Amino acid sequence: MLSMQKFRLTVFLMPVTASLLAALLGALGGYLFGHALALRSARARLAADAFQISAMVRSYLDESNAVIAAANASPYPRCSHADLTFMRSLVFHAQYLRDAGRMADGRLECSAILGREGLSQAAFSPDLTLPDGVEVYRDLPPYRGTPDTILTLQKGGAFVVRDPRIERYLYSVNLHFTFTVLDTMTHTSSRLSGKPVFAEGAVTDRDADGQVDDVLYASRCLTRNAGCITTYTPVSAAILADRLQNVSFTVLGALAAAFLGLVAALQYRRRSSMEQQLRRAIAMRDLRLVYQPIVQLATRRMVGAEALARWTDEEGFEVSPEVFVPLAEKQGFVRELTRQVVRQALTDFGPTLNAHPGFRLSLNATASDLHSPGFLSYLEQAAKSASVQPSSLVIEITESSTARGTVAVETILRLRESGYSVHIDDFGTGYSSLSYLQDLAVDSIKIDRSFTAAVGTGSASLAILPKILAMADALHLDVIVEGIETERQAAYFAETGQPLFAQGWLFGHPVPAEQFHRLLAADRERFKPPVLAASSSPAFPNCLSEQA
């Protein structure tokens, strides 16, 4: 009887024990997750605060330099009544300044607020000198005596005094920060404002985010002034700030469905934070470019390259362009993404395009770019800065982006009139009719890779290909076939008898610029001397006649 009772007790206790253990593990997991989430939120807040303060400091330094320059250019006799009135006007209209005046050899001569009398005649030495020659004094009499550090900046005989209320305001909103600058006299970083360095070995002389001992920090630097803002907070304070969130995750983790809830919460947070991560990646220029060859199918000679954007998010996951480009377009910042791609691609390929006039670099544009009034002017400015001729560039637009009507047609016409070639990417997905394609007046169409993948499968979609090729031939358009990965696919399109161009893994994977240039050099060597006559193709007009 005793054994049976023990057995029943064991049967009863096993699920209870398992449930308690699961609840304990869930609670621990919830606590750890909430802890990590709180730290991540704190880092994001620190980075945002550092950016905000650096913007304020940049404005303060710019204003100080402007007032100093204006004071040095004063048309009135030095320290005259008119000169003091002029400087008072400068201070009155300044946002960050308390006073301005004249200084010579470290001695105060006059002040817009204090006048000419009662100023100390002592000669003061600057505490540090900024890279632009501005000398910095801390707590000069008669400005000394407040609990806040009073900064005086001097150059060329004129000085300005910072309004201490700026720093007082930052402290009032509980921002912990320090502002360090490079002293050109000692070649070391010195604290100009804020609190002392918060931890031994803290990184305050370059852009950085991290943790030293028990302190989280974020540093953002002002390149021109060699100064850096560092915001920081103790880990314990970061956890305390999100204590409600921490408790919530701990309680949820104790529930039977905690694991699924945590996974769902993690996925939701990842999706919701993707936009901000992408914005930061664009702002910090963390996007990278790879380039995939475009070849003449008959000879397999490289005649161009397509620039493709790649992004790895802050968790280390590779995000597809099919995800982050529409996200940027939907949220209204795709213009910045496109401009970064254009700028980097022209930097990578400027010398190559000048050395090989027949070679073409393809850049992708979205529907929003076509509708942006500044797209063409920026493109022209970037090409000019890189000394690249418009005839060396191809603008690729998706077939779906052309469905938005008159603006797209007008932009395409303006691009072509400026000398750029225009290709329709992913052609065959169902938007462009024959008449509409004729109205677009593009140079080339790129057959969507779905048709290429259908080769050898018996798919009915292959029946559309002869019509597309006939349409292109009738309109005198070049055709580029995307997604060729096998010799069988290449042979299928080669047997059509039309002079086609091709792109796909069979001819080369997307690679960084340096590796692409090596491949291009090998390709040029392989085709030296040229073996075919010049092509009359409008998309790649001189690529075959070009001397290697």
Residue 69, pLDDT score: 95
Which alpha helices (DSSP H) does 418-512 contain, by range?
Answer: 434-440, 449-453, 465-474, 487-494
**Alpha carbon distance 478, 483 (integer Å):** 17
Residue 465, pLDDT score: 85
Residue 15, pLDDT score: 44
The amino acid at residue 496 is T
Residue indicated by tokens 């077939």? 399
- Tell me the DSSP string of 367-425: HHHHT-TTHHHHHHHHHHHTT--GGGEEEEEETGGGGG-HHHHHHHHHHHHTT-EEEEE
Residue 389, pLDDT score: 94
H/E element holding 30? helix 2-72
Residue 241, pLDDT score: 58
Residue 398, pLDDT score: 79
**Alpha carbon distance 454, 457 (integer Å):** 5
Residue 194, pLDDT score: 64
Residue 262, pLDDT score: 43
Residues of the chain with pLDDT under 50: 1-16, 18, 254, 256-268, 531-537, 542-548
Mapping DSSP onto H, E and C, the string for 72-107 reads HCCCCCCCCHHHHHHHHHHHHCCCCEEEEEEEECCE
Cα dihedral 53, 56, 57, 63 in deg (nearest 10): 180
CA 257 vs CA 263, 271, 357: distances in Å: 10, 21, 63
- Take residue 238 and report the two structure tokens written for it: 């970061």
Burial 143-176 (b: 16+ CB within 10 A, else e): beeeeeebbbbbbeebbbbbbbebbeebeeeebb
Residue 489, pLDDT score: 93
Burial of 270 (0-12, 13-18, 19+ CB in 10 A): middle
Q: Where exactly are the structural domains of the chain?
A: 60-163, 167-238, 289-526
Residue 196, pLDDT score: 64
pTM over 0.85: no
**Alpha carbon distance 92, 356 (integer Å):** 59
Q: What angle do CA 387, 392, 398 make, to 5 degrees?
A: 120
Measured in residues, the chain has a length of: 548
Residue 386, pLDDT score: 92
Residue 185, pLDDT score: 65
Of 461, 387, 375, 484, nearest in space to 422 by CA: 375
Write down the CATH superfamily of domain 289-526. EAL domain (3.20.20.450)
List all residues 6 or more positions away from 165 whose beta carbon is below 8 Å from its beta carbon. none
Residue 53, pLDDT score: 79
Residue 379, pLDDT score: 94
